[in-house]
Amino acid sequence: MYGHKVKLRFLFIFVALTILALTTFLILKSLEENVIYFQSPSDIKTLNNVKKEKIRIGGMVKESSIEIRNNEVNFIITDLNNELNVSYSGVIPNLFSEGKGVVAEGYLKDKNFFVATKILAKHDENYMPPEVKEALQEK
Amino acid sequence: MLKYFEPNKIFSITSKAPKYVLFLFIILFSIGLTESLFLSPEDYKQSHSVRIMYVHVPAAWISIGIFTTLTVLSIVGFIFKIRNFFLITKSLAPSGFVFCVIALVTGSIWGKPTWGTWWAWDARITSMLILSLFYLMYLLAWRIYEKSDNVLKITTSITILGIINVPIIKYSVDWWNTLHQQASINILSKSTIHESMLFPLIIMTAAFALFSLLIFLMKYNTELIKIKNKGLDRL
């Protein structure tokens, strides 16, 4: 039905796309450590040695773990399996609160203690009006 | 059969279409703006800054949609040598680029009050930046190689390279830890956005789609007029 040239061009595009997809997959797979924006407290627990580099830790702020003393904020980041104590002094984003997502950038003191130099609030995929939220909480 | 088309016939339709599209766009855009700026509720967590979503999300969707369309049309056009498809892609690309930039800029404005940063090198944001660079490269290729016979091959190659990035944009939030949250609107499972906020989002998406269509028709008509001026009655 179609000419020989058409079939060849189709094959060409098909092979090109396959090669590109595979190459991209391999590159991203090997770069996974750098592609992720933050590590979880569980990742920190499995580390062999504490590195001096700046890293980001993400998770949930543990309920009733925020303590404010002078200019310092202490809280616990949890991924529901493991926990990490964080201390920070500086500007806190509006959405930072207990039970919500957070990403802290800074340095590890040891496997249980993290000194943050920057705090980012992570928000989840739920969007709803305040009335609906209240109705949900009452349930 | 597909190979030849008559610019005059198409032009008689596409030259009349813009005013109707503009009319529809104005109606939908005003409904969308009133809905998203005044009538829709504030978010329980983000309060009023959630309203940026009604520009940010549709712009991102449209720019990804247009890039996918460019790729499909370029590949089919390349395989079957349909020149008209390349006139379409050439006219469609600028609005895709504009929406891509809008998505990045509004995302940045939204990021400051919610996350606490203007920019983060997370997978979603970086892959979206790469998409805008592919758009830029695509538009530049048309400018530079306009007169060359290779222009169709070059632009098709750019879309093939760029299309690999599109699933990465879509699934980046599921594959890796990102600052960007997961998708709220899911086709297969329940969406996690309240109906009262979903409605303006859909209206704004339709309005942006119409705007792209409008810009496309204007550009496409110019291309057709150029062909007519060359005195060709078919391509």
Q: Give the distance from residue B134's alpha carbon to the nearest chain A alpha carbon, in angstroms.
A: 15
| Number of independent structural domains in chain B | 1
Residue B191 lies in a domain: no
Residue A70 lies in a domain: yes
Contact residues, chain B, for A120 at CB < 8 Å: 115-117, 120, 179
CATH number at residue A82: 2.40.50.140
Residue B45 in contact with partner chain A when CB distance is under 8 A: yes
Contact residues, chain B, for A40 at CB < 8 Å: 177
Residue A59 lies in a domain: yes
Contact A96, A102 (CB under 8 A): yes
Same domain for A64 and A97, yes or no, is: yes
Domain that holds residue A102: 36-122
Residue A63 lies in a domain: yes
| Number of independent structural domains in chain A | 2
With a cut of 70, which residues of chain B have pLDDT below it?
A: 1-5, 231-235
Residue B128 lies in a domain: yes
Residue A138 lies in a domain: no
Domain that holds residue B108: 53-179
Same domain for A26 and A40, yes or no, is: no
pLDDT, one tens digit per residue, over B85-102 is 999 999 999 999 999 999
CA angle B100, B106, B109 (to 5 degrees): 145
Cα B182 from Cα B174, distance rounded (Å):
7
Same domain for A42 and A21, yes or no, is: no
Q: Give the distance from residue A132's alpha carbon to the nearest chain B alpha carbon, in angstroms.
A: 8
Contact B79 A94 (CB under 8 A): no
Contact residues, chain B, for A35 at CB < 8 Å: 123, 176
Cα B1 from Cα B199, distance rounded (Å):
43
What does DSSP say about strands A113-122 and A55-61: parallel, antiparallel, or unpaired?
unpaired
Q: Which residues pair with A59 in a beta bridge?
A: A102
Residue A105 lies in a domain: yes
φ and ψ of A60, to 5 deg: -110, 145
User: What pLDDT score was predicted for residue B234?
Assistant: 57
Residue A129 lies in a domain: no
Same domain for A79 and A117, yes or no, is: yes
Residue B46 lies in a domain: no
Q: Which residue of A has its CA nearest to B78?
A: A9
Contact B44 A122 (CB under 8 A): no
Same domain for A74 and A114, yes or no, is: yes
Three-class SS of B49-94: HHHHHHHHHHHHHHHHHHHHHHHHHHHHHHHHCCHHHHHHHHHHHH
Same domain for A27 and A68, yes or no, is: no
CA-based R_g, chain A, Å: 23
Eight-class DSSP state of B145: T
User: What pLDDT score was predicted for residue B5?
Assistant: 64
Eight-class DSSP state of A105: E
Same domain for A111 and A88, yes or no, is: yes
Residue in the block written with tokens 């006139």: B87
User: What pLDDT score was predicted for residue B232?
Assistant: 63
Same domain for A12 and A77, yes or no, is: no
Cα B153 from Cα B151, distance rounded (Å):
6
Contact B114 A131 (CB under 8 A): no
Same domain for A69 and A8, yes or no, is: no
Same domain for A47 and A96, yes or no, is: yes
Residue A132 lies in a domain: no
User: What pLDDT score was predicted for residue B1?
Assistant: 40
Same domain for A74 and A92, yes or no, is: yes
With a cut of 50, which residues of chain A have pLDDT below it?
A: none
Q: Name which of A32, A37, A129 is nearest B44 (Cβ-Cβ).
A: A129
Same domain for A71 and A15, yes or no, is: no
Residue A130 lies in a domain: no
User: What pLDDT score was predicted for residue A127?
Assistant: 87
Residue B116 lies in a domain: yes
Residue B220 lies in a domain: no
